[in-house]
Structures are given as C-alpha cells and as structure tokens.
Chains A and B, each alone.
Chain A
Amino acid sequence: MLSYLLYIDPGSGSYLVQAIIAAVLGIAFYFKTIWLRIKLFFGGRKKDNQPGNHKENEQV
C-alpha cells in the first residue's frame, strides 16, 4: 500500500515544507482576521449606506 501511495516522489522534505508553509499561512490568516475585524469596526457603517445609494441610482 505504501508503494502505491508514493508512486510519485513526494520530494525530499516536501511534507516538512508544506508543514512550515501551512504554519506561516496560519499565522498570516490569524492576523488578517484580526485586521479585518478592526477594519469592520471602524469602517463597517459606511458599507450600510451603499445599498441605499445604489437604489437611488436605479430609480434615476
């Protein structure tokens, strides 16, 4: 079964590379989420106004 799973060479250390990349991306994602929350806190209300503006445009 093992030889079947590995019929292509996964590449020396490629699992380790993926683990490191996933960790880096996980951290980046964590900070990105926090940043988005901050942005939403300060700028969230602006978005609420947009659909209203859109409707006015449509009526015109």
Chain B
Amino acid sequence: MAGKKTISRVTIKKMSRYKKHPASYRDPSGFVFEQDGIYYRQVNKMYAANYELLIKSGLYDLLVKANKMLSHTEVEENLTGQEDWYKTLLPEQLRFISYPYEWCFSQWKDAALLTLELLQTALDHGMILKDATPFNIQFADGGPLLIDSLSFEKYDETKPWVAYHQFIECFIAPLLLARYQSADLLRMFQLYPDGIPLRLVAGMLPFKSFLNIQVWLHIRLPNMLPAGAGAAQKKAPAFSRKKMKHLISNLFSFVQSLSLSPVKTQWNNYYDETILSDAYLSAKKKIVEAWLRELPASTVLDLGTNTGLFAEVAALTGKYTIAVDADTACIDKLYTRCRKEKINDLTALCSDIVNPAPAIGWQNGERTAFLERARPDIVLALALVHHLVIGRNISLQQLVSFFYAHTTNFLIIEFIPLSDEKAHQLTLHRDFQDRAYNEDVFENSFSDCFAIEEKAVVPFSDRILYRMKKTGIPL
C-alpha cells in the first residue's frame, strides 16, 4: 500500500511540474514544454508513424549532420503523464531565441532557402514539409536551423504542397516587400505573424513588380481567382512528383533572385565616412577587448552595434554575443560577414533599443519581448549614450535604471561629452545646452547602482570608457 501511495504522489508531482510552451498549441502532433529550466518536445501518438519515418528514412540523420536541423535525444519517460504520449524528445538547448521580425533581409532569405532545401530533401526521403513558418527557424552556430522536429509527414504524390500558401505569405511576401519597398517592412511580420495577406502585399508592390512573372504567379494569380475557388480545391487535378519538382525549383530561383538594391542609410557607412579615425577605433578596441577578457561572464549584449566592430571583438573573446541595431542595412552587413568568416558566437538582430520587439500572440504569451529574452552578463553601450540622451530625450536616470534592469552583472559604457563633434552635431537643432550632461553628472547618476571598476579616456578623442559592476538597489 505504501509503495502505491508513493508512486501516485510521484506521478502527480511530475504531472504538475511541466509547463507547456504558450506558442506550442497549433500542431496536434505534439508540443514543447519546459521542466526545471529544460525544454522538451512531446511527440503525440497520432504522429508516431511520421516520427518513425523521419528517423528510419535517414532524413533526420542527414539534416542533423548537415547542420540544418536541431538534434535531439529520446528520453524514455512520459514526463507530462498524458495518455496521448508517444515519445519525449530532449532537443539540443538553444542559447537564445530570435523572432523573424528581428531578422535582416539576408537572414530572411537564408531561412526561406533552408525551408525549400528541407522540403526538397524530405521529398527525396518520402516525406514532405507540412508547415513553413519562419518561427520554426532559428539562427544558431552561424546559420539557419529547423527547430521543429515534427514538421515532416509522409509524402502523398497526388497532393500539392499543403504549406505552399503559408510559405508564400510567411516568406515570399515579406521578402518582396523588402525587395520592392524597404527592408524596414520586414518588421511588418510582427503585425501579421501568421503571414502577410496577399491582397495587402499586392497593393503595396510598385508598378515595376508587374514585370516580374514570379510576382504574377505567386502573388497576383491567387488574388485573381474567384472567391469560390476554394470549393473547387477537391476537384483540382492530381498533382505529381514532377510537378512538385518544378514548383520547388521555381521557388528556389525566385528566392535566390531577390536581393536588396544597395541603399545608403544613415549608419551603414558610418565608420568609413565619419571623422572617427582608425587610431581612435583601434585604441578603443584594445581597451574593450582587455576589459572583456578580464570579466567572468559568458554572454554579451551589444546595443547600437552598427556593423558590429565591437560585437565581433566580444565574440572573439569566447563570449556569446547578441548584437542589435535599429538599422537593418548594418545588421545585414554584420550577419553576412559573420557567415563568411564563420563567427558563430555572434547573433546579429535588428532591434531599435527605444522600441524593442514586444510580447505578442495569444495572451501576449507566445513570443516574449526582446528584453525579456536577452539576459546578458555584460551590456556594451559604446557610442550610444549621446544618441539616447540628446537625440531621443532619454534622461540619464532612465538610462541607469534601464541598464540596471537588463544586465545581470556588468556594463561597459562610453560617455560622449558635448565637446565631441558627434554629440555637438546632435545638439545643433535642439535646446540642449542647459541640461546637465557632463562627466561628473554622468558618473554621479550611475554611482547609486553601479561601481566604476575601470575608467579610460579613449586616445585621439574626448570620449571616456567605463567598466561598471552592478551594486546597490535599483532606482
């Protein structure tokens, strides 16, 4: 009797311990849950045959070896206690989750190409991709990676691609808006996380897109079909493997042909064009690198990274670095460089620090806010403070509480005095001269919550670097 009681207690305890991921409710094949800080994926009974096919066909091994899919190990235990349970998977844990509306154009394009590659490889193994959302892709170890192990199902040659429409609305639509309008429109995906409606996209594309036959086929044609066309779906002629092959190679060449026309933004040639001398930059690099090496920390968040000169320094010291900038062209440059030079410890993302991605989805719980996801040990804020204080009217007090809340330990920050030409330029059209903004005020503001460990004037400039450690109580 006593033994029985113990067992039931353990079962109850186990059942109540797991927490289902708030975004993992759409696909009945299984779901992601968290237990003791570890993420697992449950495979439900209904997906058993497809899961076995994924493993036995060799598709899983091939994709994992090629670094195109997140690997997992099978856990022989029903952690959720559900009757529907078939298998528990322990996926390789990711250090950070980014969302598509934080990606630059090249990241979107790589994610779209990976999705098509997965589809092609699946077909060769008798399976097909049953969903095509960018939320199933993450950037880890330098490149895109499929994280949803339940995305494949047995291929039926007579059927077209069930996720075709989703692929067009979720990948092609944002890419086309970026290509023909502005890369800033990629953030529109935050408003339409299930895909940007084709009617909306068609209306936003300029006249010159009419010359592109692909746009006609994939965007305008669906809009031209009569409303009742959906009912005719079942009567549509049978599909074939050959037709599928044509469709995929067409989508491949479509995505590959999309590129941004080179635009000059305010920031993407900042280092090349400004008065900031190479001597200043290399002196600053040396100081920052030395300080970073001394700190016992594993993650860095570089705010206002520009093209990532210092984020790269941080990544090369062996610390995992998230580098963000509001300028998508800068992030595109950085991402492309990291892929080329295989800097795998760096994740580059588009994020405006005064308006970072909020929590979205059902009950605001599906996708968390950017600042909640990034919990760095060190925050880097180089050549940033003057933009926030002078350019965006954020007070030093606000800055202090922001940094206090978002670094777990350290802050490397650069103070740019009004005597600096860049800071001076910002004050030209603003009534700023009366505000208290100098070295003493800056240090005093931070002294309540941070201890200044190191201080150095950057050679060839009036700028001052500080290394601070969190202390005291928040404001």
Known contacts A18-B160, A26-B243, A29-B246; A8/B166 CB under 8 A = yes
B164-A25 in contact (CB<8A): no
B233-A8 in contact (CB<8A): no
Known contacts A11-B166, A24-B217; A17/B246 CB under 8 A = no
Q: Give the shortest distance, in Å, between B116 (CB) and chain A (any CB).
A: 15
Of residues 229 to 276 in B, which have CB atoms within 8 Å of A's CB atoms?
A: 229-230, 232-233, 236-237, 239, 242-244, 246-247, 250
Interface size on B, residues (CB 8 A): 36
B28-A11 in contact (CB<8A): no
Query: Residues of A contacting B164 with CB < 8 Å?
Result: 10-11, 14, 17-18
In the complex, which of the residues B160, B169, B230, B242 contacts A19, with contact meaning CB atoms closer than 8 Å? Answer: B160
A8-B246 in contact (CB<8A): no
CA distance A14 to B229 in the complex (A): 9
Query: Residues of B contacting A20 with CB < 8 Å?
Result: 221
A16-B232 in contact (CB<8A): yes
A4-B236 in contact (CB<8A): no
A18-B247 in contact (CB<8A): yes
CB nearest to B251 among chain A residues:
A21
- 1/0 per residue B215-233: CB within 8 Å of A? 0011001100101011011
Query: Residues of A contacting B405 with CB < 8 Å?
Result: none
CA distance A6 to B234 in the complex (A): 13
Q: Give the shortest distance, in Å, between B197 (CB) and chain A (any CB).
A: 10
Q: Which of B26, B160, B239 gathers the greatest number of chain A CB atoms within 10 Å? A: B160
* Interface size range on A against B: 20 to 34
Of residues 128 to 178 in B, which have CB atoms within 8 Å of A's CB atoms?
A: 130-131, 153, 159-166, 169
Contact surface of A with B, Cβ cutoff 8 Å: 4-22, 24-26, 29
Contact surface of B with A, Cβ cutoff 8 Å: 26-29, 46, 130-131, 153, 159-166, 169, 217-218, 221-222, 225, 227, 229-230, 232-233, 236-237, 239, 242-244, 246-247, 250
CB pairs A–B below 8 angstroms (27 shown): A4-B28, A7-B28, A8-B130, A8-B131, A8-B162, A10-B163, A10-B164, A11-B165, A12-B227, A12-B230, A13-B225, A13-B229, A13-B232, A14-B164, A15-B159, A15-B233, A16-B236, A17-B164, A19-B237, A21-B217, A21-B221, A21-B250, A22-B160, A22-B239, A22-B243, A25-B246, A26-B242
- The 9 A-B pairs of least Cβ separation, nearest first, read A11-B165, A13-B229, A12-B230, A22-B243, A14-B165, A18-B160, A25-B246, A15-B236, A15-B233
